[in-house]
Chain A
Amino acid sequence: MKRFMNLKPSKATALLLGLLPFLIAGLFYIVASDLRLAENPNDKLLPSMASFSEAIDRMAFTPSKRTGEILFLEDTSASLQRLGLGILISAVLAILIGIPLGFIPFIRAGFSPFVAAFSMVPPMAILPILFIIFGMDEISKVALIVIGVTPLIVRDLQQRVSEIPAEQLIKAQTLGGSSWSIVIRVILPQIFPRLLDSVRLTLGTAWIFLISAEAISATEGLGYRIFLVRRYMSMDVILPYVAWITFLAFLFDYLLKKFTYKLFPWYKAGKDNS
C-alpha cells in the first residue's frame, strides 16, 4: 500500500506548494485591509496595495523633497555598510580569539570562562556605556553589532576547534609540525567553512542589533526609517521596508551557503554523508 508519507511532490508541485502559504498570507492581508479601510478610509494600520505602491514609488524612485536623495537607496547602503563592517570585524576577531581558545590549553584555561561570561552580557543593557566610549556616530552602531555577535561566533569556533580529532593533530606532530604550522595547515582550513556557517547563523542576531542601533540614534538607515515613520504609524512605508530587510537577510544567507559549498566542496560532501 502506498503511504502518504512516501509520496514525493514533483519539482513543479513543490514550487507551487512552497508559494501557497505566501499567497494565502497575502490574501488574508488584502481581506483584512479591505475590511478596515471600508470602515475608515484613512486607516494606517493595514494599508491597501495601492498605498504600498505609492509609498514604494516615493521612497525608492522619487528624490526626497528635503535632501534631493533617494531615501531608500541611502537607507539600504548605510545599513549594509554597518552590517557588513560589523560582521567582518566579528569574523576576524572570532578567528583571532576562537582558534587559540580551542587549540591552546593554557589560553583556554585563562580566557574561556571570561569569554563565556562576556557572551552573556546583553549589549543593549550597557548601551549608555558604549555611547560614551564610542560616541554616537557610526562606530557605536558597528560596535554594538560586534559586541553582540563576536562572542557567539567565538564560542562556536572554540567548540569546533576542540572537536578536531586528536589523531589528526598527533599525526601532524609526528610529521614535524609546530603549533603554529598546525594552526595554519590543519586547523584553519577546516575551521573556515565552519566560520562561514557560524556567520550565517548569527546574521539574524546581527540584523537585530543593527536595527536597534539605528533606532536609537541615526540620520539614515533601514532601521532608522522604520522607527522614524513609526511615530506616525506609516505602515505603508514600514511593511515594504520589513519585506526588503527579510529579503536581504534571506539573500545573504543563501549566498553565504553557496559560497561556502563552492569554496569547500569537501565540507558539503561531509555534511551530505552524515
Chain B
Amino acid sequence: MKPFFKSTSKLLVAATLVMGLGTSSLMAEVKNKFTVSWTIYVGWMPWDYAQQKGIVDKWAKKYGIEIDLVQVNDYIESINQYTNGKFDGCLMTNMDALTIPAAGGVDSTAVIMGDFSNGNDGIILKGKKSLAEIKGQNVNLVELSVSHYLLARGLESVGMSERDVKVVNTSDADMVAAYSSSDVTSLVTWNPQLSEIMSMKDANLVFDSSKIPGEIIDMLVVNTETLNDNPKLAKALTGAWFEVMALMKKGDTKALTFMAEASGTDLAGYKSQLNSTKMFYDASEAVEFADSDALPKTMKKVSEFSYDHGLLGEGAPNAEFIGVEFPNGKTFGDPSNIKLRFIDTYVKMAAEGKL
C-alpha cells in the first residue's frame, strides 16, 4: 500500500502545483516583501551595486519593507517571469515593456527611467563604410528586439525599408563569433558585444542609437496594481537608485570599479560604455525627460514598429490598441486599454528631496 500512497500523494502535489499556476498570479495586496529582477547591462549595474552594498536594504528598512533584487541570466526570461507575476518589478526597455507585459495584459508602470541608449546599440558593416551599402545584405540581429527597431529606424533614415535587407535572427550571445564568420557581412547589436566587435578587423559603425536619442530607454517597471497598493516599494527603490546615481556622478572610482567587474569588464571598459549611455544622474533630469513631449512621440514610433511586426498580439487591430499614459495626463492609443504608464511621481519626490 505504501508505494500506492506515495504515488498518489505525488499526483496530488502535482495537481496542486498546476492549480497554483492558475491562481497564484498577481493577487494585489498590501505586503512587505518584494522581488525585482535585473539582468546585466551597463545602465543596470547600479542596481547590483545598490543591492550588494546594502543601499537597497537601507532604503527598504526606512519604509519598513524588504526588497530582494534577483539577477536573472536571460533578459527575456526575466521579463517573462515578471509578466507571469513572479516578480513585482523588472528592468527592461520601453519597447519590451510595451510588447511583453503590456501586450500580455499586465498593467505596468515605468517608475524610474534610468537612462537611454546614446550609442550603446549600433549597426556594423564589414568592410563597407556607409549605411546605404547595407542594401541586399543579410543582417544578423536579435529579431524583434531593440536592435531590430534600430535597424528599421536606420533604414528609414536612408530611404530604405526592411524589404531591402534580409534579417537573420541571431542570438546576442553569439554575435561576436558570428562576426568572425566569413559569411556575416552586417549585424546590429548592443554593448558590450558592440564594442568587442568594433575592435575587430574591418568593422565600421554606420549607424547607432545616438542618432535616435531618447528612443531606447532603460527603465524600472513595476506592476501597476502592486505599485498602487504599495507606494513604499517605489519610494524605497527610487531613493536607493538616486543614492547610487550621486556616487556615479561624483565619479566614485570604487563604486564604478565594482560595477565594471560585476558586468565582466574593467573600469576603462565600463566607462567607455557609460559614454554611450545617457544616464540621468540627477533626479530633475529624469523628471524633465519623463515630462518631455519627445516621450509620447517615441512611444508612438515604437507602437507602430511593434504593430507592424505583430508584437502587440494577434488581437491588436492597429498600433493604437494598447494605451500608454504619460505624466502630464497625455495618452497615446486606446484610453480604455491603458497597460503601460510612465510616471514622474517618485523621481519628482527624489528631485525635491522628499524621499
Residues of A whose CB lies within 8 Å of any CB of B are 28, 31-36, 39-46, 51, 54-55, 58, 127-128, 131-132, 135-137, 215-219, 224, 227-228, 230-234, 236
Contact = CB atoms under 8 A, between A and B. Distances in A.
A32 B22 contact: yes
Contact of B103 (A54, A132, A232): A232
A137 B183 contact: yes
Interface in B322-338: none
A40 B184 contact: no
5 tightest Cβ-Cβ pairs between the two chains A and B: A42-B105, A35-B22, A128-B177, A32-B22, A135-B183
Interface of B: 15, 18-19, 21-23, 25-26, 76, 80, 83-84, 99-100, 103-106, 140, 143-145, 166-171, 174, 176-178, 180-184, 311, 313-315
Given A217-B174, A228-B143, A36 B103 contact: no
A35 B182 contact: no
Given A35-B23, A228-B169, A127 B83 contact: no
A92 B132 CA distance: 46
B19 A32 contact: yes
B18 A28 contact: yes
A31 B174 contact: no
10 contacts: A36-B21, A36-B25, A40-B25, A40-B104, A55-B314, A216-B171, A217-B140, A217-B178, A228-B169, A232-B104
Interface of A is mostly: helix
A203 B200 CA distance: 39
A233 B100 contact: yes
A84 to B, nearest CB: 22
Given A42-B103, A128-B177, A216-B174, A136 B22 contact: no
A131 B314 CA distance: 35
Nearest to B17: A32
B104 A135 contact: no
B104 A44 contact: yes
A127 B177 contact: yes
A43 B83 CA distance: 9
A32 B18 contact: yes
Nearest to B310: A65
